[in-house]
C-alpha cells in the first residue's frame, strides 16, 4: 500500500515469498528505452554514491495497457547513478540481489526515465507481485 499521505503510516506488502513484480502500464512515447523501476534503500559496498535501492529495466508495451513481469533476479543494487544502468547484476553475484528484509518491506518504490534521450509518456495502472508461494495470485497486490 502506498500513496496514503505524508503523515500516515504506510507500508508495503510482504513479497518475500514471491518471484517478482508485474507492472500493468503503457508507453505513449513510441518506445522509450530508458524506463526503470526501483525499490528499497539498499546500498552495496563499493556502489555509486547516489545509487540506492534495487533497480531493473522496465519495457512496457506501447499504446495499449499490458503486463510486464520482472523477476526479482533482474533487479540489482549495483547500478550507475548517472545512467541507471546495471554495473553488476544479481546473476553475476547473489550479493546484488534483493534481500529478504527489503522484500518484506520495500519502504519506497520509483519509476524512472533515465540514461536515454527521448520523449517520455508512461501510464501505470497497477503494480503487483506474482508467483507468491502460499498465497492466491494477486494477493501480492501493492
pTM, entire model:
0.85
Q: Which of 82, 69, 81 is nearest to 129 (CA)?
A: 69
- Mean pLDDT in residue range 69-75: 98
CA atoms within 13 A on the CB side of 45: 2
For 17, phi then psi, to 5°, come to: -100, 20
DSSP for 76-134, please give it: BSEE-TTT--EEE-TTT-GGGSPPHHHHH----EEEEE-SS-S---EEEEEEEEES-TT
Cell of 105: 518491506
The answer to whether residue 2 scores a pLDDT higher than 80 is no
Q: Where are the domains of the chain?
A: 25-130
pLDDT in tens, 109-135: 999 999 999 999 999 999 999 999 975
Amino acid at each position: 500500500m502506498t500513496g496514503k499521505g505524508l503523515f500516515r503510516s504506510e507500508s508495503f506488502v510482504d513479497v518475500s515469498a514471491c518471484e517478482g513484480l508485474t507492472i500493468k502500464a503503457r508507453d505513449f512515447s513510441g518506445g522509450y528505452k530508458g524506463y526503470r523501476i526501483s525499490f528499497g534503500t539498499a546500498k552495496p559496498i563499493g556502489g555509486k554514491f547516489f545509487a540506492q535501492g534495487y533497480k531493473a529495466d522496465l519495457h512496457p508495451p506501447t499504446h495499449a495497457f499490458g503486463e510486464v513481469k520482472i523477476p526479482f533476479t533482474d533487479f540489482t543494487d549495483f547500478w550507475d547513478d548517472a545512467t541507471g544502468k546495471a554495473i553488476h547484476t544479481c546473476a553475476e553475484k547473489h550479493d546484488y540481489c534483493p534481500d529478504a528484509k527489503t522484500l518484506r518491506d520495500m519502504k519506497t518504490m520509483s519509476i524512472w526515465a533515465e540514461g536515454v534521450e527521448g520523449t517520455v509518456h508512461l501510464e501505470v495502472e497497477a503494480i503487483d507481485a506474482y508467483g507468491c508461494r502460499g498465497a492466491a495470485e494477486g494477493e501480492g497486490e501493492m
